[in-house]
């Protein structure tokens, strides 16, 4: 079974324009590197201070289940504003064989 490429999108304030911009950029990259199976995880209106967000939690559950092989984000601040938490999460991704790409 091949693993999907996940695009993760987060905005601090509910904003469809920002979601659209992030989605276009990450999908464009995924298609440019020939990713066929792309899953979207979106948290619209959630702060980057907390990593407890519905879309992010679903992404992590899918990573743990072995469904995701790559995570693509516009920039690392979409994952977390706390660099230490981001690095801990990144290490966990690496343990699960997941590559993280920040555009």
Please write the tens of the pLDDT for every residue from 1-56: 689 999 999 998 887 788 999 999 999 999 999 888 999 999 999 999 999 999 99
**Residue-level length of the chain:** 103
**Segments forming the whole domain that contains residue 44:** 4-102
Q: Tell whether pTM > 0.85.
A: yes
Q: How many domains, the chain? A: 1
* First-residue to last-residue Cα distance in the chain: 27
For 17-26, how does the pLDDT look when each residue is reduced to its tens digit (9 = 90+)? Answer: 889 999 999 9
Answer for the pair 73, 101: CB distance below 8 angstroms, yes or no. Answer: yes
Q: CA-to-CA distance for 10 and 75, rounded, in angstroms? A: 10
Q: What is the reported pLDDT for 1?
A: 65
Phi and psi at residue 44, in whole multiples of 5°?
-95, 115
CATH of the domain at 44: 3.40.50.1390
């Amino acid at each position: 079974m091949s693993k999907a490429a996940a695009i993760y999108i987060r905005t601090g304030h509910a904003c469809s324009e920002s979601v659209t911009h992030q989605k276009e950029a990450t999908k464009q990259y995924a298609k440019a590197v020939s990713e066929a199976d792309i899953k979207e995880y979106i948290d619209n209106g959630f702060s980057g201070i907390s990593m407890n967000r519905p879309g992010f939690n679903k992404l992590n559950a899918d990573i743990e289940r072995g469904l995701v092989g790559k995570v693509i984000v516009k920039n690392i601040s979409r994952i977390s504003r706390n660099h230490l938490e981001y690095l801990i999460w990144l290490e966990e991704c690496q343990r699960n064989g997941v590559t993280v790409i920040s555009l």
